[in-house]
Amino acid sequence: MLKGKTAVITGASRGIGKAIALKMAKEGANIAIPYVGPKELAIEVCKEIEALGVKAKAYECDVSDFAQAKEVCDKIVKDFDGVDISVNNAGITKDTLMLKMSEEDFDSVISVNLKGAFNFTKHLCRYIMKSSAGRIINISSVSGIMGNAGQANYSASKAGIIGLTKTTAREFASRKVTCNAIAPGFINTAMTADLPESVLESVKSQVPLKRMGEANEIADLATFLASESASYITGEVIRVDGGMCI
């Protein structure tokens, strides 16, 4: 489905990003992984990807740093001879009620989650527009659609991703580049694994399908949106939330 394409997936050393990277690699895409955190995690994901018969390389990068993001994007283009797909997945949380939220807590989440997506879109768009099937996929959240107590910073960043997605879709449509957003609900990842069982049960009770989602379910949709089958879909925000935001 994606044979010979190159995908840049930020934050793919773990969680949803890793699932997307592995799924796209299975479909034939070469994968570039800008990451922060333990280098060994990114290297391990690259090894898993290479075992699937495609190319993979990791790049340490603070996605919120405009200049650093440009440097890394230029390296990726040189190493992979172009880019076809960009998945803006990198994100952080610093949850607390607004009464207690510091300026640093607000700014850092906006910088990584929203500005990071802008940085990579800005620095890769000229190359993606040269692709015969350019795709930009942004990972938003249901928190950006309905808000969530204790997540003023995170919800604002993910709502911003939706606005960025729709504007990008309009600006790049003439170059046959699509841009869509995925809004996951409660997904079973390392971030949720440490939650008390009582909290998890409370979460599930809010979901009509009565379960948490899996990272591979986000990856399946991202891979579809990156494919030729989704060439007439752009500017959409697709929820994967078990019906929580019906």
Active site residues: 154
Task: Tell me the DSSP string of 194-230.
Answer: TS-HHHHHHHHHTSTT-S-EEHHHHHHHHHHHHSGGG
Three-state secondary-structure class, residue 50: helix
Give the separation between CA 11 and CA 63, rounded to whole angstroms. 9
**Residue 98 phi, psi dihedral angles, 5° rounding:** -55, -35
Q: In this structure, what DSSP letter does residue 52 have?
A: T
Give the separation between CA 217 and CA 20, rounded to whole angstroms. 9
Tell me how far CA of residue 127 lies from CA of 8, 91, 118, 169, in angstroms. 12, 24, 15, 16
